[in-house]
Amino acid sequence: MTDALPQPEAGTVSPGALAGIRVIDLTRVLGGPYCTMILSDHGAEVIKIEPPQGDEVRAWGPPFLDGTASYFLGVNRNKRSIALDLSKPEGREVLLRLLEGADVLVENYKPGSMEKWGIGYNKLGERFPRLVHCRVSGFGATGPLGGLPGYDAIVQAMVGLMSINGEPGSGPLRMGTPVVDLATGLYSTIGILMALQERERSGRGQYIDMTLHDCGMALLHPQAANHFLNGKRPAATGNPHPNISPYSKFRTATCEIFVACGNEPAWRKFCGFLGLDHLVDDPRFATNGDRVVNRGDLDTILAARLLTEDGHALCDRMLKAGLPAGPVLFVDEAVSAPHTAARNMVAEIGEFRALNTPIKLSRTPGGARAKPPGFNEHGEEVLSAAGYSAEEIETLREKGILVTAPRG
């Protein structure tokens, strides 16, 4: 018996929960493209408008597939690509034509750029009152850093994320995944869906001001909450959790594992499972607060006990007993794990392989539908659908407005 809700079978394709939503995507690099990929995974039509030189992450390799870097491939599936020179008035006229009937515009130009071109939100909002316009930028247009460029690692440094990452004494350390860019993409998606929902009531679109700085700040939990309460500067703790113990990594006879005890019943059950019942009555470990204060003593005891175990087998037994634990896997091990396959978390379309959507909808499942596009792969198709004749398309190509090959 199971209380799990029904899930669609692997490979099931539906129009998606966002079918009928049209998104014009003027974003590059990661935060914006990650947002529009999420929308496209769930049925939104996403038209990616690349600059004449192309999205720069097409070159962020190796590795490459048919000349396109994995960095681009990982966040641009399900989209159609057209390359336009928006620095020219004729290019901006094409953009305006593509925005007719569009629901969402996502862009990550430096604040002021689109305003300089006469296509900022105030202008676009007048012409397209139902348009949801989401701008992703480093710091926004206001404040001491307004209008300045921002990058994931720089923002990790500036918001304090690096200061809480790493081992004690290691110094601030960049997180291995571009967490600020990814979080900004996720928050942007949430904002867009909120605005679309509100539009159902008001009939009006709105502007969404998303910044790497704001989203990076929003990730500072529980360190910011701790600081607001105790006034102390949070420090890097390495693997141990700053507020919970035991909650850390330990070595076993076969691999490293991570264990977590988030409440007192779990702590007592954990001790009994490992045959360490006497720790429950030890005053050093009576409460979570005591265990955090005496973390060093507790970790020494647990390290000696866990070193005798087969880590994979132990974690399996612990999980089945209701105790949170897991082996520390490398990326290649994680993507090939049986549970990853069972949850359909790796998508394959020909030679293209990528992580699939984690959002599991029972009636309208989403996911990888089409491999990432080549540069301007759908340029003529997109323009034809917008009502351009073959002669008009050829004129745009001759004038360099429709760009057929990346400019160096």
**347 — phi, psi (to 5°)?**
-100, 145
Nearest to 135 by CA among 121, 150, 123, 146: 121
- Pairing state between β 352-355 and 346-349: antiparallel
CB half-sphere exposure, 109, CA atoms < 13 A:
21
- Pairing state between β 79-83 and 45-50: parallel
Residue owning tokens 């360190």: 223
Task: For residue 102, give Cα distances in angstroms to 8, 44, 96, 99.
Answer: 30, 11, 10, 5
State how far the Cα of 33 lies from the Cα of 346, in Å rounded to an integer. Answer: 19
**Residues annotated as catalytic (active site), given as ranges:** 181
Beta carbons within 8 Å of 154's beta carbon, 6+ residues apart = 138
